[in-house]
């Protein structure tokens, strides 16, 4: 969550060889997206990811750290500086950048968007709502500011419309024609890595 009562302080403080050292964190939205992409790349060995993550976030190679030490630092940075939460709905990223929305503690997690695959919708919506060209903001727009703008996108923007389609559940009074239309739209706008069993899906909508 973005705390508007104070300036953003993005620093990594480490004790190295008995001395406290401060490393500025590079937290523009594109850096964080690059981190997500790297973490989700199956071609990159898991043992290399923590050190690569620190290099992306600081521009520094921490070759003296063990993998476990690097992982502990990455987790701390992620929880303090990258993880975001909304007040009314719990919205979380995993380390691969997948967005998980939990409507209640008893319901399963359902991903509504992925910033990698939904880049066109996000770009168009920022231009439409804020006149912000995200390409021009690379290296400048802070990750937390980006997220605040993202969750604040108004009705009528493409990104919000896509989320409404993906999150739709049949309601009492919805006509069969409307439900069928929404099913078709959900298939059209579903995330690429979602495997949907069409027969099971049909049963769940009946």
Residue with tokens 């939990």: 102
Whether 108 contacts 84, CB under 8 Å = no
Give the pLDDT of residue 199.
41
**pLDDT tens over the chain, length 206 residues:** 678 888 888 999 988 777 889 999 999 999 999 999 999 999 999 999 999 999 999 999 998 899 999 999 999 999 999 987 643 444 555 555 555 554 444 455 567 899 989 999 999 999 999 999 999 999 999 999 999 999 999 999 999 999 999 999 999 899 999 999 999 999 999 988 765 444 434 444 34
Whether 166 contacts 112, CB under 8 Å = yes
Calculate ∠ Cα 80-81-84, nearest 5°.
90
Give the predicted TM-score (pTM) of the model.
Answer: 0.78
Q: How far is CA 7 from the centre of its chain?
A: 22
Coil, helix or strand for 123?
helix
Calculate ∠ Cα 118-206-181, nearest 5°.
45
**Which two structure tokens, joined as six digits, stand for 57?**
């976030």
Over the range 30-55, which residues count as b (16 or more CB within 10 Å of their CB) and which as e? bbbbbbbebbbeeeeeeeebbbbbbb
Give the pLDDT of residue 94.
57
Among 109, 155, 147, smallest CA distance to 128 is for 155
**Pure H helices in 59-196:** 67-77, 119-130, 143-151, 158-167, 176-189
Rounded to a whole number of angstroms, the CA Rg of the chain reads: 20
Among 30, 2, 193, smallest CA distance to 119 is for 30
Cβ–Cβ contacts within 10 Å for residue 199, how many? 8
Over the range 98-135, which residues count as b (16 or more CB within 10 Å of their CB) and which as e? bbebeeeeeeeeeebbbbeebeebbbebbeebeebebe
**Which two structure tokens, joined as six digits, stand for 137?**
């903001």
């Amino acid at each position: 969550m973005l705390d508007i009562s104070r300036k953003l302080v993005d620093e990594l403080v480490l004790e190295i060889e008995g001395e406290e050292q401060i490393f500025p964190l590079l937290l523009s939205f594109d850096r964080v997206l690059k981190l997500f992409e790297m973490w989700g790349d199956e071609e990159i060995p898991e043992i290399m990811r923590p050190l690569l993550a620190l290099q992306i976030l600081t521009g520094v190679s921490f070759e003296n750290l063990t993998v476990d030490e690097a992982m502990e630092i990455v987790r701390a940075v992620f929880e303090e500086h990258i993880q975001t939460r909304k007040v009314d709905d719990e919205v979380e990223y995993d380390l691969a950048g997948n967005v998980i929305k939990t409507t209640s503690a008893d319901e399963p997690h359902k991903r509504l968007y992925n910033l990698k695959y939904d880049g066109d919708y996000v770009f168009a919506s920022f231009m439409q709502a804020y006149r912000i060209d995200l390409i021009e903001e690379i290296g400048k727009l802070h990750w937390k500011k980006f997220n605040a703008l993202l969750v604040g996108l108004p009705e009528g923007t493409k990104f919000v419309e896509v989320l409404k389609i993906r999150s739709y559940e049949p309601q009492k009074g919805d006509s069969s024609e409307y439900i069928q239309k929404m099913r078709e739209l959900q298939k059209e706008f579903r995330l690429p890595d979602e495997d949907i069993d069409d027969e099971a899906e049909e049963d769940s909508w009946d």
